[in-house]
Structure 1
Amino acid sequence: MTEQQKPTEQLNFELRKKEAKTVRKVVTYTAIALLSIGLLISAILFFYVKGGLKAYDAKDDSEITVEIPIGSGLTLISKKLEEAGVIKDARIFKYYAKFNNESQFQAGTYNLTKSMTPDELIESLKTGKVYRTPVFTMTIPEGLTIEQIGEVVEKNTTITKDEFVSYVNNPETVDRMMELYPNIVTEEVKNEQIRTPLEGYLFPATYPFYEENPTVEEIVLTMMEGTAMNVTPYLDYLESKGKTVHWLLTFASLLEREATAAADRESIASVFYNRLEADMPLQTDPTVLYALGEHKDRVLYKDLEVQNPYNTYQNKGLPPGPIAAPGRSSIEAVTDPADTNYLYFLADKDGNNHFTDSYEQHLINRDKYITGTKE
């Protein structure tokens, strides 16, 4: 039977059969092509991402300075790392950090290298320290004044105490710290009654240094960053109380110089709070010593008469500014004091503090625990 002799219905069926076969071929070839393209793109993306999770250049150890401002989010940090040439792709670093739930990064100035892996970069940004071995470390104990910190710096570096103190007290240095840390260092440090503008603003801690001879600027910025890191978490608290960072550091510095044990800070803070509320002078000896500008084993009665804005026997309220560098425990005690009615306390010859809410009991404690009287 010829094609012409086939019924029309059969011809249509065979035609549809051929068209379906053709369509299946087109769909199959298209699917294969799309799959191949998809696999190729996936492979390219895989190797690109894989490369982005490695060090940019494992052989390049040259340092690249990267400044991470306070309050920077992961997006901004990733962008800055890419712009500095430390990583290949900001998006890869960002999503890698997010995938690993890493987001608590520290602000500061970092000397990073292209040879650092994303994990090493993340570790550095989390701890606020460059992930490498320091040349030396320097410990600044709690409760030191700027002058005393200068002595520590002189013992550990080629910088003299006078050079350190001169740099810290330079008005240009103060202005720069105000510019770099506007939420921390404010116009309050320029109060004409303040003896040393940045007193209490250089955080006590053990700091690593990665150069044999760091500059005085690097040392001061490192300590200022320590203050910013430890005070920033309390900014919301201070705002809710209508208080400032200067108030916090001033209050905390009194605790630092008065406390003889870690557990006493909260109780001493309660004494100061209760006295402030009762409109009583704080009457704390360390402020008298600061006003005198000298160290003494004990404060004499005649010392209490010194006319100085820092003397809390002669002036009510907090002194104009910090009298020393407070540590983290003292800062925490200001924000979370003990709940007491104490108004008085004294330390016995063994350094143990004794608290009371009455002046009569305070006198009894004085006679009981302290040998001799002030002259």
Structure 2
Amino acid sequence: MNLKKIVSLVSVALISILIVYGFVLMYQIFSGNTKFADKELYVYVPTGSDYEQVKHILEPYVKDISRFEMVAGKTSYPENVKAGRFLLKNGMNSYELVKAMKFNDPVSLAFNNQERLENFAGRVGSQIEPDSLELLNTFRDSIFLKENGFTEENVLVMFIPNTYDIYWNTSAEKFRDKMIKEYNKFWNKERTAKAAAQGLTPIQATILASIVHKESVKKDERPRIAGVYLNRMRLEMPLQADPTVIFAMKKKSNDFNQVIKRVFYNDLIMKSPYNTYVNIGLPPGPIAMPDITALEAVLNPEKNNYIYFCASVDRFGYHEFAATLAEHNVNAKKYSDWINSQGVQR
């Protein structure tokens, strides 16, 4: 066999090897490499994780981790691991998996109607990486509170209920800083001026809104209720809001899971800074996280001469309003008779 034929055979062999290698490489890169049944799922990479930890996280969902490693190595992923939340789709190939692990998918974080800072921290901690204790400590940081004019009792007013796009691995401090920016954005010049027109600061307006929020689930009625409370405040009357008494009762027992449907006279005279039957003015902090409609009701209250209201027997969820005590007593007796007939004790 002459040299020319030998070179030709070697060339053919090399080409064949390269073709086979190419097919193997293409298979490793572009064939499906997932093994979960769901259409898609999220994996979470904690802050500070390295490449080995990422592989350990992915192994339950990847058919052949070596194929993933091969592609990852060729794209410099091991040196550029990111923390966060990452979306995997069923049937992804190794290239797509590596690409997915480079895209931190934000969380649509939602919260509303939390009664206490502790409940709120738990709600947020279930959606992003920092746990509830870390969040609580950050919210209660004395320097932060002082710089922004809050106290531990009223800092809950800072959190405006909404849905926010935020990265899962956002730190507690960065989350808090984002929330104070959203708070300042909400309390623009127009809303601050509207609060001032009612004789309120933004913090006071939010505390009042929390009472309005708890008084009625009927959003169309909230401006009227806000008007009543503002009338009482102008007359320097106690607000006499049952939801503040219920909050005080829960706070005293440290049981915020209990459902209290009825308030009795002995409850109305309990000593608590949150009891607006024995204290004139607003409580030291919100009794819940008011939603936007309750806040807007306080900023845009109905102008009326009502001083009293109680739950309506005829229109479930609504209230009956009165300008005089005599009128109110009629409405109150009607409601009391009805609730007694229902056998509601607490």
1:138-149 to structure 2, matched below 5 A, reads 138-149=109-120
Which of 284, 288, 293 in structure 2 is aligned with 1:329? 293
Percent of aligned pairs with the same amino acid = 25
Which position in structure 1 is the counterpart of 2:171? Answer: 215
Structure 1 residue 311: Cα displacement: 0.7
Which position in structure 2 is the counterpart of 1:165? Answer: 136
Structure 1 residue 314: Cα displacement: 1.0
- Taking a change above 3 Å as real, the CA distance of residues 134 and 262 of structure 1, as seen in their structure-2 partners, is farther
Structure 1 residue 372: Cα displacement: 4.0
Which position in structure 2 is the counterpart of 1:117? Answer: none
Give the Cα–Cα distance (whole angstroms) in 1 for the partners of residues 194 and 302 of structure 2. 17
1:1-375 to structure 2, matched below 5 A, reads 134-176=105-147, 178=148, 186=149, 189-190=150-151, 196-209=153-166, 211-232=167-188, 233-240=190-197, 242-292=199-249, 293=251, 294-295=255-256, 296-298=258-260, 299-301=262-264, 302-347=266-311, 352-357=317-322, 358-367=327-336, 369-370=338-339, 371-372=342-343
List gaps (5 residues or longer) in structure 1. Answer: 1-131, 179-185
Give the Cα–Cα distance (whole angstroms) in 2 for the partners of residues 241 and 348 of structure 1. 27
Give the Cα–Cα distance (whole angstroms) in 1 for the partners of residues 344 and 234 of structure 2. 29
Structure 1 residue 272: Cα displacement: 0.8
Give the Cα–Cα distance (whole angstroms) in 1 for the partners of residues 197 and 302 of structure 2. 19
Give the Cα–Cα distance (whole angstroms) in 2 for the partners of residues 203 and 215 of structure 1. 19
Verify the 8 A CA contact 2:242 2:263 in the aligned structure 1.
no
Give the Cα–Cα distance (whole angstroms) in 2 for the partners of residues 321 and 156 of structure 1. 25
Give the Cα–Cα distance (whole angstroms) in 2 for the partners of residues 273 and 339 of structure 1. 10
Letter in 1 for 2:145: V
Verify the 8 A CA contact 1:291 1:310 in the aligned structure 2.
yes
- Taking a change above 3 Å as real, the CA distance of residues 241 and 137 of structure 1, as seen in their structure-2 partners, is same
- Taking a change above 3 Å as real, the CA distance of residues 242 and 257 of structure 1, as seen in their structure-2 partners, is closer
- Taking a change above 3 Å as real, the CA distance of residues 346 and 314 of structure 1, as seen in their structure-2 partners, is same
Verify the 8 A CA contact 1:256 1:327 in the aligned structure 2.
yes
Structure 1 residue 153: Cα displacement: 1.2
User: With structure 1 as the length reference, what TM-score do the two structures score?
Assistant: 0.55
Give the Cα–Cα distance (whole angstroms) in 2 for the partners of residues 279 and 374 of structure 1. 32
- Taking a change above 3 Å as real, the CA distance of residues 142 and 229 of structure 1, as seen in their structure-2 partners, is farther
Greater Cα radius of gyration, structure 1 or 2: 1
- Taking a change above 3 Å as real, the CA distance of residues 227 and 144 of structure 1, as seen in their structure-2 partners, is farther
Give the Cα–Cα distance (whole angstroms) in 2 for the partners of residues 361 and 341 of structure 1. 18
- Taking a change above 3 Å as real, the CA distance of residues 141 and 242 of structure 1, as seen in their structure-2 partners, is closer
Give the Cα–Cα distance (whole angstroms) in 2 for the partners of residues 359 and 254 of structure 1. 20
SS at match of 2:319: strand
Give the Cα–Cα distance (whole angstroms) in 2 for the partners of residues 145 and 361 of structure 1. 35
Verify the 8 A CA contact 1:307 1:314 in the aligned structure 2.
yes
- Taking a change above 3 Å as real, the CA distance of residues 331 and 197 of structure 1, as seen in their structure-2 partners, is closer
What's the C-alpha RMSD, in Å, of the aligned pairs? 2.7
Letter in 1 for 2:200: K
Give the Cα–Cα distance (whole angstroms) in 1 for the partners of residues 259 and 316 of structure 2. 13
Letter in 1 for 2:155: L
List gaps (5 residues or longer) in structure 2. Answer: 1-102
- Taking a change above 3 Å as real, the CA distance of residues 236 and 279 of structure 1, as seen in their structure-2 partners, is closer
Which position in structure 2 is the counterpart of 1:73? Answer: none
User: With structure 2 as the length reference, what TM-score do the two structures score?
Assistant: 0.59
Give the Cα–Cα distance (whole angstroms) in 2 for the partners of residues 372 and 363 of structure 1. 17
Structure 1 residue 328: Cα displacement: 1.9
Structure 1 residue 242: Cα displacement: 4.6
Q: How many aligned positions are there?
A: 229
- Taking a change above 3 Å as real, the CA distance of residues 269 and 239 of structure 1, as seen in their structure-2 partners, is closer
